Structure 1
């Protein structure tokens, strides 16, 4: 009886003019050109008759923000102090477009790939709805508003206001973060038309189906495809669901066809299993083989009413607490980068070509995995990852904070928004072979370690993130049982003040991830390995990864010795060489720990963030291995290329440090060659073979006066060779007179003296009379009398220490500069030059009561090295600068 009702309904629809197969196919109309934009609120702009002729003409994708610029010629200058735009607030977009000529049964949706952060949409004056969240695709049914075959007026109000307790974005993630949230319609917009019988369009922005590799056994793959069908007819209908898996050669390797009965105005989820004999597996970067998965809906007469096709890779992934990551049951070491989606001059409004270029730079470096931080990225990067074989960590923008003001619990609206963004992330990306895990949070375990001026909390209570994390973890498992959950932590196991308490959140998720900046924000670089061992021992059954590590690298700042002084991690002094040192040390620790399932360095590219005034950038996080404009690959980029690829790589470090302060320099070359030879002005300086972790070093290379041409040649198997060259300068004046700026990582720019940074020392600690920078607050300089070289005099080496300074044989003068006035651990000390005591129980504080530079000069005879020893008598010795004069 039911069968007769379906047949009758089908006959009736045919008589009413049901769309033919040609008419019923899904169609997409890009809405990219012809937009008008206003960076302000305009309450009447939703009405069709509103006059927008004075508004700016733009194309979508579009963002009104330009954030972050370099202070000098580091970048191409697309962003400058004059043209940056950090406005966060309301913007309006309007578009007049021709809608397709309608048929009786067409259905239409507006599809937005992203709108930041809140979007409200009107069509022809009819309010369609709102989307809260700046990173995911959403669709709006426009049946009640579209005017087929004529001009239509689309109006979109977008708001990227910074979330505060009373703002319209108060409950929209992220509430905070070390990245700038750009505003606008920064991803594509389109009009989608389907027949009434189609795959669901309200699948949280997803494609309307889910495909999963259940298992691969005995060279047979078992897949499950669940499709959500929608019948928009006012009566029940019969339908067919056809699923096909198609190889690259066009051959159908598996297919099913199923008859379905659909109720009126209803959805039906249909699951079908596929079996593939001898599957060609998706095997990461080595062989990212993709089939085409075709989902087709047909009516009872066999006419196609909807088809969606997506690439699909057959693979299995698993994580082991002791042995790391396995792809298709084979060990597979994951090493990669964190990735933000902004580019200098474009912000978030990037093109597919921009993403292709970024991935090409990563792949050349040897990246085989990407952590997509700290929010949902677009389909372009996911599609590319599928195609080139990158393993992806996805996450939602639950970053650092989840409450406003003094609240101790997340508001119901924020919980709902977190759930929404997680569902959208999973539904829209679950079919990608590249996606390995769902990240539910980043660094929500600061506890009470953050100061008041960062948190704004006044009641002394610290919110507990675990209830929200548990809810999101359960939701992720319900949405996708096939993938594990994870999060990234900042603080567990670190040494804090006794009053600091941090929550232990790692146990909430299946996998653990540690953001650890040893040698940068805290501790020493060599602390990373022991810290990872401690975390592994604490939860021996939970797979662990390193989710962030690294250091800032300003390509216009250089040091002669990375141990000359502590790095200024929140200020300006962030030389490129120190970034390389951190990565060399961290990678050695990571490589030695096979229990880690992955590591992602921070970061692939410099990116925008308004909480930073650091290195050579303003509103830029300079931890990228490539500059914001993608123009300069920093030295550390080549370190990873030499370690992560087999491509012949030879790279001379410090190439941008051209004008050298000293004749004697250590030369470091990243080379994965069997043998690497260094030449200086044509003469060989020797060979290094099988360099540990591809780091080859030549100590104490003495430059010639004038131009110095460095050339490194690597010899590889099968007679292959690769080489690199650089030019350094050691000018004639420097050969006669130079100075050491003691206690510095980057030398002060002298007004009358050419300083180099602190080096040639043994022992002691670097100190400064100035107050250091912190969380965007600049360093505070103190006045110092007695010398025009205030900046050099402000820093000093303190304690018990000595210098062995390379000086050409012969007579010279040495000037020692001291700082009067009170200082930490001050006292008296002896000064010994070449074995002769020249100052006994000296106390510079007794010479002047104010802060003043004091110069003491001595004649010396050098045999190639001048040795100066500072011996404490009481307290600590000190020296601010050392001048060598051979004129």
Structure 2
């Protein structure tokens, strides 16, 4: 017998909270919700600032044969946020801490022939000893990625035990090293062979074989060097993938088998000449991507991931930064297949503002000594898991060990930097073929700790020709909803190509949920995966594709309902994106934003809101005359969908679901959403919002950059590089806050006029809130809760030294 892998995404029961006895087989779960995986605590979720924080329990039955229980039996989880306890037949099988990486739980000793009850207790409560301690995303809990059952022999190839790396490319041939970890859990020694076949486009290229021996209870790694003739290198323009089929054979034949896709390519980041792929310079141009989708939150299908990658590819970009945590392995798989470079990032994450324990606004590194050892271990474990699962993907060109970890309490900045260096060293140890990057490294010397410095925000203007390889890992940061402005989001000269800069990445690709107000609305594609007009600008600039006609003002006379596919699988990996358009009598899309409701008239499929969903301006699902939503099913059969709106004839669409149990109108209990929401702590004391935030300026004198105005230091500040009217410095708070007070501090010298302005960041520009002269040394402006995204200080006459700009608010 060889290995069997079975998806377990269908037929789960779920309840919020932690009901006593829920892990036992005799527990009555008939009143629980019926859910399929992937699933999120937050469903339905539409970019609200609050989300459910607490516990939840999942239950499902699996069936095993008599032969299965004598073999190795395990459950594979691709992601559970963020504390998972797994039980089998009432007995605890294992626990995993960490919300973004895959893991496996050995249940061999707990299963029996016939029915077996699987129960998973999940918590997404903030944990001071678990990464991330901070971040601007939302942290919805749940089993939000796939789960599989694995049944294999006790002597087998280890879970993700095969690592393939390019050793040499020489002319038309390439040598790859295959390292395979074998496990022998049996009581007997094993002698056999490890067989390998490499294929390209289903055609065998070569075969190889090595003898292997394992003592009883031994785990050991075997290495093979394989030369691939007439190699076809992986490149975004030609994303060629090979397939490695391996079989572990004993005296009676094969006893285990695995399949691994891989690509052959070389990568190099240089200090003076940028990035090289396969020995040729390639300018990186891409976007940052969060994982969540409208309604479904983080519980995204493989089809949804495929569409995300395709949208970035379609606009002409060649790179995705997986911000700011390990993404589903399927994301790298799609980048491999579609031809995008991918930056895989760890969840060691900081975010600006006052650091407050108890929520995801805490210091990135723990200030409490008792929390540090476990926190560091959680980072090291997550990095190890990220690399093990993703190491064979040719699209991945760097392992990033975190993002903006400098948002750490001052007293533990040295410890945060030591941990960063530990993570870099571990990445080198686990994978010497890729560089280790530090994302968001524009403050406090974090940029010198890795092989590549990723500069966010004002880093693009602060760091020119630094003494190490570098990339602008974030630029842009424009808050917009559809339709948005047709134009680029370039800022601070990033559109100018410098040989020493490896590339640039837009913040960000998609709207996403965020605990910071307005922060989520910075995508050039919205939460429902409909592009804003800036996406069309990039597509035209990078690929020469003209934008479509924009919707015109008018009154709709018809609804058009379409889908990107009309046949879907029911195993939780597939869905259809439904598109709604409001048309006038000529068939043009018109900017008529009346709400449209889509109902499941017949069939077992669901929306995140159940069997009906409204797309409207209220949930931003229908804007500028068109909208979209993802539809999935866990039952086979025909789904009849009907879209209707006041005053318009309904439109009908059929979507066929295939595989699994047929829909016959079964009773099921669908959740209407979480029982409660937790919001970011507000408190009565205004918080300092501006510390270490990005600062931009009209120009600065050497040694006096604008970044000094948010660094807490009062010994020196920003000084303009020219002595002329109109110089300015602009503090970006990176989200829209309720600002109470702005304080500006000036250096000693001549008494000159200044103007203080604020912007809400919603496209309305800056508004003056104060003016005066610098002679007093400082200015305090009471704003009384005004919505502020940015603060600008302008010197309409002669410039002066600007020491600090401090913004307090909520």
Shorter-chain TM band? 0.5 to 0.7
Question: Displacement, 1:636?
Answer: 1.9
Deviation at 1:254, TM superposition (A): 2.5
Give the CA deviation at 1:799. 7.8
| SS at structure 2 position matched to 1:387 | helix
Instruction: Kindly state the Cα deviation for residue 823 of structure 1 after the two structures are TM-superposed.
Output: 5.6
1:611 is the counterpart of 2:502: no
The change in CA–CA distance for 1:280 and 1:447 in structure 2 (over 3 A counts) is same
Q: How does 1:194-213 map to 2 (within 5 A)?
A: 194-201=152-159, 207-213=160-166
Which of structures 1 and 2 has the larger relative contact order (alpha carbons within 8 angstroms, sep 6+)? 2
Hey, what's the Cα distance between the residues in 2 that align with 1:68 and 1:103?
A: 40
1:378 corresponding residue in structure 2: 328
Take 1:505 and 1:231, find their aligned partners in 2: how far apart are those partners? 43
Change in 2 beyond 3 A, CA 1:590/1:447? farther
**What's the CA shift string for 1:525-579, capped at 9, x where partnerless?**
xxx44x231xx24x1xx1110001112232369xxxxxxxxxxxxxxxxxx44x9
What residue is the counterpart of 1:505 in the other structure? 446
State whether structure 2 residue 143 is matched by structure 1 residue 185: yes
Aligned to 1:216: 169
Kept after mapping to 1: 8 A contact 2:185/2:217: yes
Contact (CA 8 Å) 1:548, 1:599: kept in 2 or not? yes
Distance 1:478 1:270, change over 3 A: same
**CA offset at residue 196 of structure 1?**
2.2
2:22 is aligned with 1:45:
yes
Query: Which of these residues, 65, 69, 73, is aligned with residue 108 of structure 1?
Result: 73
Q: CA deviation at 1:592?
A: 2.6
2:241 aligns with one of 290, 295, 299: 290
Normalising by structure 2, we get a TM-score of: 0.66
Correspondence for 1:825:
772
Instruction: Tell me, yes or no, if the aligned pair for 2:365 and 2:408 is still in contact at 8 Å.
Output: no
**Equivalent in 25, 38, 49 of residue 61 of structure 1:** 38
Q: Give SS of 2:738's match.
A: coil
1:201-232, CA deviations, whole angstroms, 9 ceiling, x for partnerless residues?
3xxxxx11111110101322011101011122
Secondary structure of the residue aligned to 2:60 is: strand
Distance 1:64 1:483, change over 3 A: same
Name the structure 1 match of 2:463: 532
Mark the CA change 1:462 to 1:479 in structure 2 (over 3 Å): closer, same or farther: closer
Measure, in 1, the Cα distance between the counterparts of 2:87 and 2:6. 18
SS at match of 1:128: strand
Query: 1:847 aligns to what?
Result: none
Deviation at 1:362?
A: 1.1
Partner SS state of residue 244, structure 1: strand
Residue 46 of structure 1: CA displacement? 1.4
Match of 2:584 in 1: none
Partners of 1:234 and 1:362 lie apart in 2 by 51
Choose the corresponding residue for 1:361, options 311, 319, 329.
Answer: 311
Q: For the residues of structure 1 that align with 2:728 and 2:502, how far apart are their CA atoms? A: 38
Any conservation in 1 of the 2:364–2:408 contact (CA below 8 Å)?
A: no
Task: Give me the whole-angstrom Cα distance separating, in 1, the residues matched to 2:82 and 2:421.
Answer: 25
Aligned CA distance change for structure 1 residues 509 and 823 (closer, same or farther; 3 Å): closer
Question: Which residues in structure 2 correspond to 1:484-495 (within 5 Å)?
Answer: 484-492=435-443
> 1:92 maps to what in 2?
57
Q: Displacement of 1:68 after TM fit?
A: 6.2
Distance of 1:406 and 1:764 partners within structure 2: 42
Query: 1:773–1:779: 8 Å Cα contact kept in structure 2?
Result: no
| Aligned match of 1:627 | 526
1:280–1:54 distance in 2 versus 1, CA, 3 Å: same
In structure 2, the CA distance between the partners of 1:580 and 1:622, relative to structure 1 (3 Å rule), is: farther
Select the residue among 302, 311, 315 that pairs with 1:352.
302
Residues 776 and 43 (structure 1 numbering): CA distance in 2 closer, same or farther, change over 3 Å? farther
Structure 2 residue 2 is the aligned partner of structure 1 residue 31: no
Partner of 1:139: 104
- Secondary structure class of the residue paired with 2:494: helix
Distance (whole Å) between structure 1 residues aligned to residue 22 and residue 429 of structure 2: 41
1:686 equivalent in structure 2 = none
C-alpha separation in 2, matches of 1:338 and 1:270 = 37
Which of residues 197, 205, 210 is equivalent to 1:258?
Answer: 210
Aligned match of 1:601 in 461, 483, 506?
506
Shift of 1:652: 8.1
Alignment deviations for residues 566-618 of structure 1 (CA, whole Å, 9 cap, x no partner)? xxxxxxxxxx44x946x2445x5343312211211111001001121x3xxxx
- What is the CA–CA distance in structure 2 between the aligned matches of 1:195 and 1:426, rounded to whole Å? 25
The C-alpha deviation readout for 1:685-735, integer Å capped at 9, x for no partner, is xxxxxxxxxxxxxxxxxxxxxxxxxxxxxxxxxxxxxxxxxxxxxxxxxxx
Q: Distance in 2 between matches of 1:126 and 1:554?
A: 50
Match of 1:472 in 2: 423
CA distance in 1, matches of 2:219, 2:342: 31
1:414-563 aligned at under 5 Å gives the runs: 414-446=375-407, 464-492=415-443, 503-517=444-458, 528-529=460-461, 531-533=462-464, 536-537=465-466, 539=467, 542-555=468-481
Counterparts in 2 of 1:311 and 1:467: CA distance versus 1, 3 Å: same
The Cα shift of 1:404 comes to 6.7
Structure 2 gap segments, 5+ residues each: 351-361, 555-724, 742-752, 757-766, 774-783, 785-795, 798-810
Residues 639-697 of structure 1, C-alpha deviation per residue, up to 9 Å, x if partnerless?
2212222x4324789x7999xxxxxxxxxxxxxxxxxxxxxxxxxxxxxxxxxxxxxxx
- Cα offsets for 1:314-351 (capped at 9, x unmatched): 11111121111111111111111111100110001011
The answer (yes or no) to whether the contact 1:423–1:479 under 8 Å persists in 2 is yes
TM-score (norm 1): 0.61
Q: Does 1:332 align with 2:285?
A: no
Q: Distance in 2 between matches of 1:627 and 1:650?
A: 17
Return the offset for 1:99: 2.3
Q: Is the helix fraction higher in 1 or 2?
A: 1
**Counterpart in 1 of 2:266?**
316
Q: Once superposed, what is the RMSD of the aligned Cα atoms?
A: 3.4
Q: Could you tell me how far 1:300 is from its partner in structure 2?
A: 2.6
Instruction: Please say if residues 447 and 462 of structure 1, whose CA atoms lie closer than 8 Å, have aligned partners that are also in contact.
Output: yes
Shift of 1:368: 0.8
Q: Please say if residues 764 and 799 of structure 1, whose CA atoms lie closer than 8 Å, have aligned partners that are also in contact.
A: no
Q: For the Cα contact (< 8 Å) 2:510–2:527, is it kept in 1?
A: yes
Show structure 1 runs of 5+ residues with no match.
1-23, 70-78, 163-168, 202-206, 450-459, 493-502, 519-527, 558-575, 615-619, 659-762, 782-796, 801-817, 827-850, 852-870, 873-887
For the residue of structure 2 that corresponds to 1:43, the secondary structure is: coil
Tell whether 2:350 aligns with 1:396. no
Change (3 A) 1:275 1:514: same
Contact map agreement 1:298 1:305 (CA 8 A) in 2: yes
How far residue 483 of structure 1 moved from its aligned partner, in angstroms, is 0.7
SS of residue matched to 1:380: helix
Change (3 A) 1:266 1:464: closer
Q: Does the residue aligned with 1:193 lie in a helix, a strand or coil?
A: strand
Q: Please state how far the C-alpha of 1:170 moved relative to its aligned partner.
A: 2.3
| Aligned-partner SS, 1:200 | strand
Q: Which residue of 2 aligns with 1:676?
A: none
SS in 2 for 1:411: helix
Q: Alpha carbons of 1:799 and 1:300: their partners in 2 closer, same or farther (altered >3 Å)?
A: closer
Distance 2:107 2:319 in 1: 39
Change in Cα spacing, 1:50 to 1:594, as seen in structure 2 (3 Å) is same
Q: What CA distance in whole angstroms lies between the structure 2 residues aligned with 1:773 and 1:278? A: 53
Structure 1 contact 512–543 (Cα < 8 Å) conserved: yes
Tell me which structure has the larger Cα radius of gyration: 1
After TM superposition, the structure 1 = structure 2 runs for residues 652-671 of structure 1, keeping only pairs within 5 Å, are none
The 1:105–1:602 alpha-carbon spacing in structure 2 relative to 1, beyond 3 Å, is: same
Residue 59 of structure 2 is aligned to residue 161 of structure 1: no
Q: How does 1:749-764 map to 2 (within 5 A)?
A: none
Among candidates 206, 223, 235, match of residue 271 of structure 1: 223
Cα distance in 2 for partners of 1:220, 1:556 equals: 49
Q: Does 1:152 align with 2:116?
A: yes
